[in-house]
Structure 1
Amino acid sequence: MRQCEPQRIRGWFYLPEAPDERVPGILTWEPSDGATLELIGGFSPGPDYQPSPEGNGVYATQIVGDVRSGTIFGESDSGKKLSIWDAQRGSYTAGISGEVREEFWSSTWVCVGAHIGSPQDPAFIEATLEPDELYYLTNDRRFCPPQWAKIAGVENPGERLVNGTQLMPYILPVIGGYHAEYAIADIDGARYSVNTHATRPWVSEATEAFPELKLDMMTRNLRRGRAIELQLGANVSIRLQDEAAGSAAAFVDSMAAVLDLIRLATFSTCDVEAIWLEATNGDQLSLLSLIGEPAAPHETHLPAAIVFTFGDVTLDSFLSTRKSLTEGRQAAFAWSMVIGHCGYSPQFVEQYVSQVLAAAEGFDTWCLRNSGQVELNARLKALHGRLPNEVLALIDLDVNNWADWAVWARNHVAHGGTRRRRFIQDSLQLLAIAKSVNLVTYLVVLAELGVPSEKMVDALRNHPRLQGLLLHCEAVNQIKEMPEPPL
């Protein structure tokens, strides 16, 4: 079950402590909003009646009683077990007597395939994450160039006949199957493995005895004709040291490093197609969660959208550098602010200015450990100075003018105006300041990861989003102080 797709599951639901009190309902999953459980009836008890202070009866302060938040178990009409974690009761309807008629619950994650009491229960031995774009970091080539071939029944290959016939038999070599541990890294008691996979024919005694059966099983018979679809893909699996069991919450936390990798390698959001969990008993379960962004696996990939691959920065190197940059006081928070601006499109210019300047200052202070009493102007210049010469030549920022206006912009936004009365032409220049700061900070992170300078230059020239940021550097160089407007 894929979390990037809407789901609608009918079944019976109950609280784990009251398995005999089952309520019919519909569980829906929306990739951007999470899970909603609509019950016909509900778990809420009747209202709590209190004696009237006047002694002439009883009264209730609410229509129905309170019910605890937390896990809800379910079973779909097809027999699949469901665990809805951290569920919160929302709205409900009830009769005059307090009997619940409808009840609505919401949650951010659902385990499909088992009844697990809590996301903190050590019930799993492996988690597998399928994010968009990961395959393009691997350079694992499974499709080989087509080869012309001799095939029985084609007497004149490549020759055009009088009636227009021209038959050209060929073979498309494919290295199908599953390639485990294309890239591996061990860190913080967990092993991360990038695995690739490619379509392969089904293998069984029947298919080996009747080779045509392999072709039939790979073929879709469409009204327009027959079709065979071949796919390449990649995932990341995570296991704990010594094959120890871990909780869903712990595995989800460990996925943050993978999301960061994809964001930095693409300068975009990390879109997650599916998450699979292997239980301690060997069962394969799926997890619906709001981790990452909803994937779009069928959209077209843009080759220029990849900034670096494992050929430039190994998985082990990335995880090690990430760990060193996020250790210590406030470093993880500052890192998250920088990562959050990969591919981020601001809704409000002032908000964007405030956030990217805070991210730049925090990264220099806590991740690069320049935690002395240093002014923002000096920090920005220090970040700029960490970039390779080839990159500096391409972005071509007037560093003094840039840092000066960036500090002014931060103060202007943070304080709702500044005592130092300066005026720029329009909000587009304010946006250019923010985007140039975002770009410089991102490039510094790439440099810390060890991305070659030629790959950074290539990305600045060709990456669809970085190209746009580069244009704003020249706009910042053109900012000059405007005369104060008349009163």
Structure 2
Amino acid sequence: MANDPLNLDESGEWAGLWWLPDDPENRVPGVLRYKPEEGLVLSLIGMFEDRIVTTLADGLAVVHEGSRTWDVIHGAAEQREISLLGCVPSSSKRTYGARVKSPDKQTITVTTALIGAHVDSEDEAAFSKIEVSVENFGLWAATSVFKGVFSAPGGRPDGSGTISVEPVEAQSVEVDGTEFVLAHSHTLPFFDYRRGGTVGRMRDTAYMRIVPREATSLSDAMSSARLIQDLIALATHHAAGVIWLRLKLAQAVGESASGRQLPERNVEVIYSPAVIGKHDAKATDHHRVFFTCESLPFEEVIPRWYEVHERLQSATNMILGLRYAPAQYVESNLLTAVGAAEVLHRGLGIDQSPIPRADFKSMREAMLAQVPEEHRGRIRSSLRNDPTLRDRLYALAARPDQEAMSSLVPDVDRWASRTTKGRNDLAHEGQTPDHSIEELIAVVDVTTAVVILNILNELGLPAERQREIVHNHPQLRYTARGARDWLTAPTKEP
């Protein structure tokens, strides 16, 4: 359909005229091309001046090293306004002194394209709504317009049945003045007549619509898309690529000359997110998903995730980074997983000062009194009343459901001890001679799982579901087995 969003995993091309916002009369023909693996490239027949030139008092011009870049280039192509943001010239070919006069050529690399609107910057509040689709969103939403019934008289299928389409009522919740809507759109029935048979099909797309109280900008829209992307990545335990991002132009921008409000205008966003979603790829298996809107209702999880994502963003970024770009070396994964645990502990606001604060203050002053004045500043900074890494790991293990945790980490003492030693040896000695590769892998997997369970616990995931995840999720079952094999203290002989 012509009104479908532009999928980021599909190529596109827009031929038109292009100009700089401060020089709209100088319009240069060219073609904007997008390829998922290469990004956005504008090829001009002609060029914008990209040299850095200084004109001297005597009229002479001095060309400096380097080249200009442009924050925004405007265009008109395929009967739509286009804004190109973050534009850098990659090649320019001038024809001075050529035997045959021909147009100059210029190629410009573009960071982001808005198809359907002219804006002056990514911070311009020009949009009223944000719509985003990410991989596995429909699986997480746990709703569909499709319903199937198969006839099986006497318990034996007879080959008959029906597939019906029933519109799904949108679910919405307001958080801090912003409305989040779980919406569906579906195509009309289509019959594809082939020589060897006939295929009938429809497509149901679940997506998130975000409606802020006031007009929003492109940069805020990308942050909102990232919020949803991270939620689905956490819920499915799988990198969640952005399939498409669409904005609605604010009515104030789209008013007609007569003062009447025009219908909402779609603005497609073409950019390169952390992962580009593949819209036709098979969804993640349901048994590999941590939670859906069945186990944690939409109207509950969105407000909680909004708060948790902001409060624990550093920890979630680190742990989700292992899903988006897993490191090839166990040492890097060790530092990331343990770092996420430490950052999470701080974000949770657990007050675990080993020594009462009043007592520690007097103790520190007494110790500093024995230190020569020239060394006192250095010693003061090293005297801290913070919990150790082992203390933090113990505290994290105590927060989720304890039955689930005991299945995942049967020997918390051993896990905390070996994780602390592995991290300290790597950070201070540059190697982990007392750990085998298998044990390090178990440390990384268990620490990652403990962080994830804590985040899920903060989202309010029921204890029963936490137990189901540990017992049934293939990766967490593997992690629990590694904990039993490598992170359990050996039994002493009687």
TM-score normalised by structure 2 residue count: 0.78
Does residue 388 of structure 2 align to residue 385 of structure 1? no
Whether the 8 Å contact between 2:148 and 2:164 is mirrored in structure 1 is: no
Q: Within 2, Cα distance between the matches of 1:270 and 1:198?
A: 22
Q: Mapping of 1:67-466 within 5 angstroms? A: 67-76=68-77, 78-94=78-94, 101-146=104-149, 170-177=160-167, 179-182=168-171, 184-200=172-188, 218-241=190-213, 244-280=214-250, 281=254, 282-301=264-283, 302-326=285-309, 331-342=312-323, 344-370=325-351, 372=353, 373-417=386-430, 423-466=433-476
Whether the 8 Å contact between 2:249 and 2:265 is mirrored in structure 1 is: yes
TM-fit CA distance, 1:379 = 0.4
Worse-superposed segment, 308-317 or 41-50: 41-50
Summarize the Cα distance change of 1:58–1:314 in structure 2 as closer, same or farther, 3 Å threshold: closer
Whether the 8 Å contact between 2:112 and 2:271 is mirrored in structure 1 is: yes
TM-fit CA distance, 1:21 = 2.0
**Aligned partner of residue 443 in structure 1, secondary structure:** helix
Summarize the Cα distance change of 1:426–1:104 in structure 2 as closer, same or farther, 3 Å threshold: farther
Tell me the amino acid that sits aligned with residue 195 of structure 2: R
Summarize the Cα distance change of 1:101–1:458 in structure 2 as closer, same or farther, 3 Å threshold: farther
Q: Within 2, Cα distance between the matches of 1:107 and 1:471?
A: 48
Q: Within 1, Cα distance between the matches of 2:35 and 2:278?
A: 14
TM-fit CA distance, 1:87 = 2.0
Tell me the amino acid that sits aligned with residue 30 of structure 2: G
Whether the 8 Å contact between 1:193 and 1:238 is mirrored in structure 2 is: yes
Worse-superposed segment, 89-98 or 367-376: 89-98
TM-fit CA distance, 1:100 = 9.3
Q: Within 2, Cα distance between the matches of 1:246 and 1:59?
A: 42
Question: Cα RMSD between the aligned structures?
Answer: 3.3
TM-fit CA distance, 1:416 = 4.3
Q: Within 1, Cα distance between the matches of 2:200 and 2:76?
A: 36
TM-fit CA distance, 1:19 = 2.1
Q: Within 2, Cα distance between the matches of 1:36 and 1:138?
A: 36
TM-fit CA distance, 1:477 = 1.5
Summarize the Cα distance change of 1:148–1:474 in structure 2 as closer, same or farther, 3 Å threshold: closer
> CA offsets, 1:102-128, max 9 Å, x none?
433223321112222222222211111
**Aligned partner of residue 202 in structure 2, secondary structure:** coil
TM-fit CA distance, 1:194 = 0.5
Divergent runs of 4+, >6 A: 49-52, 96-100
Report what 1:208 is aligned to: none
Tell me the amino acid that sits aligned with residue 308 of structure 2: L
Summarize the Cα distance change of 1:381–1:174 in structure 2 as closer, same or farther, 3 Å threshold: same
Q: Within 2, Cα distance between the matches of 1:441 and 1:46?
A: 51
TM-fit CA distance, 1:236 = 0.4
Q: Within 1, Cα distance between the matches of 2:352 and 2:9?
A: 41
Summarize the Cα distance change of 1:107–1:413 in structure 2 as closer, same or farther, 3 Å threshold: farther
Summarize the Cα distance change of 1:95–1:431 in structure 2 as closer, same or farther, 3 Å threshold: farther
> CA offsets, 1:138-183, max 9 Å, x none?
332543343669xxxxxxx9xxxxxxxxxx7845141344x3523x
Q: Within 2, Cα distance between the matches of 1:463 and 1:6?
A: 36
Q: Within 2, Cα distance between the matches of 1:445 and 1:361?
A: 13
Q: Within 2, Cα distance between the matches of 1:389 and 1:474?
A: 17
> CA offsets, 1:218-246, max 9 Å, x none?
212223232211333311001012xx322
Tell me the amino acid that sits aligned with residue 89 of structure 1: P
Q: Within 2, Cα distance between the matches of 1:59 and 1:336?
A: 47
TM-fit CA distance, 1:266 = 0.3
Q: Within 1, Cα distance between the matches of 2:352 and 2:72?
A: 43
TM-fit CA distance, 1:38 = 2.9
TM-fit CA distance, 1:363 = 0.5
Q: Within 2, Cα distance between the matches of 1:335 and 1:457?
A: 21
Q: Within 2, Cα distance between the matches of 1:332 and 1:291?
A: 18
- Structure 1: where are the runs of 5+ without partners? 150-156, 158-167, 202-217, 481-487
Number of aligned residue pairs? 433
Whether the 8 Å contact between 2:231 and 2:305 is mirrored in structure 1 is: no
- Structure 2: where are the runs of 5+ without partners? 1-5, 255-263, 354-385
Q: Mapping of 1:24-35 within 5 angstroms? A: 24-31=29-36, 34-35=39-40
Q: Within 1, Cα distance between the matches of 2:93 and 2:15?
A: 20
**Aligned partner of residue 354 in structure 1, secondary structure:** helix
TM-fit CA distance, 1:261 = 1.5
Q: Within 2, Cα distance between the matches of 1:413 and 1:105?
A: 44
**Aligned partner of residue 194 in structure 1, secondary structure:** strand
Q: Within 2, Cα distance between the matches of 1:45 and 1:323?
A: 43
TM-fit CA distance, 1:71 = 0.8
Whether the 8 Å contact between 1:176 and 1:198 is mirrored in structure 2 is: no
Whether the 8 Å contact between 1:44 and 1:66 is mirrored in structure 2 is: no
Whether the 8 Å contact between 1:32 and 1:293 is mirrored in structure 2 is: no
Report what 1:214 is aligned to: none
Summarize the Cα distance change of 1:22–1:436 in structure 2 as closer, same or farther, 3 Å threshold: same
